[in-house]
Structure 1
Amino acid sequence: MELIQEHTDFAAYLAADEAVDHGHPLVQETADALWAATGDAYSYAKVAFEFVRDTIPHSADSGDDRVSWRASDVLGTRNGICYAKAHTLTALLRARDIPTGLCYQLLGDADGSNLAIHGLVALRLPGSDDWSRVDPRGNKPGVDAQFTLGREQLAFPVRPELGEIDYPELYAAPHPATLKALQESADRPQLWRNLPTAL
Structure 2
Amino acid sequence: MSPEAYLAEDAVIDFGRPAVRLLAHGLRAQHDDDVEFAKAAFEHVRDNVAHSWDAQDPTVSITASDTAVNGVGLCFAKAHLLAAILRSQGIPTGFCYQRLTDDDQSYLLHGLVAVFLNGDWHRQDPRGNKPGVDAQFSIKEERLAWPVRPERGEHDYPQVFPGPHPTVIAALQATDNVLDLCRGGLPSSL
Q: TM-score, normalised by structure 2?
A: 0.97
How many residues end up aligned between the 2 structures? 189
Q: Structure 2: 5+ residue runs without aligned partners?
A: none
2: CA distance between counterparts of 1:94 and 1:50?
16
RMSD: 1.0
For residues 28 and 119 of structure 2, what CA distance do their matches in structure 1 show?
Answer: 23
- 1:118 aligned partner: 110
Match of 2:73 in 1: 80
State the one-letter code of the partner of 1:131: W
| Alignment of structure 1 residues 141-160 onto 2, 5 Å | 141-160=131-150
Alignment of 1:127-166 (within 5 A): 128-166=118-156
**For 1:1-199, what aligned pairs fall within 5 Å after superposition?**
7=1, 9-110=2-103, 113-125=105-117, 128-192=118-182, 193-199=184-190
> Does the 8 Å CA contact 2:172/2:178 hold for their aligned counterparts?
no
Q: Is the 8 A contact 2:41 2:85 kept in 1?
A: yes
Distance 1:168 1:196 in 2: 17
> Can you list the C-alpha shifts for 1:110-155, whole angstroms capped at 9, x where unaligned?
46x1210000000012xx2210001000000000000111100100
Amino acid at match of 1:123: V
> What CA deviation, in whole Å up to 9, does each residue of 1:56-98 have, x standing for no partner?
0101000101110000000001010000000000000001000
Deviations 1:12-32 (A, max 9, x none): 000011111111111110001
Q: Given residue 156 of structure 2, which amino acid in structure 1 is its aligned partner? A: D
Return 5+ residue gaps in structure 1 as ranges: 1-6
Describe the SS at the equivalent of 1:116: strand
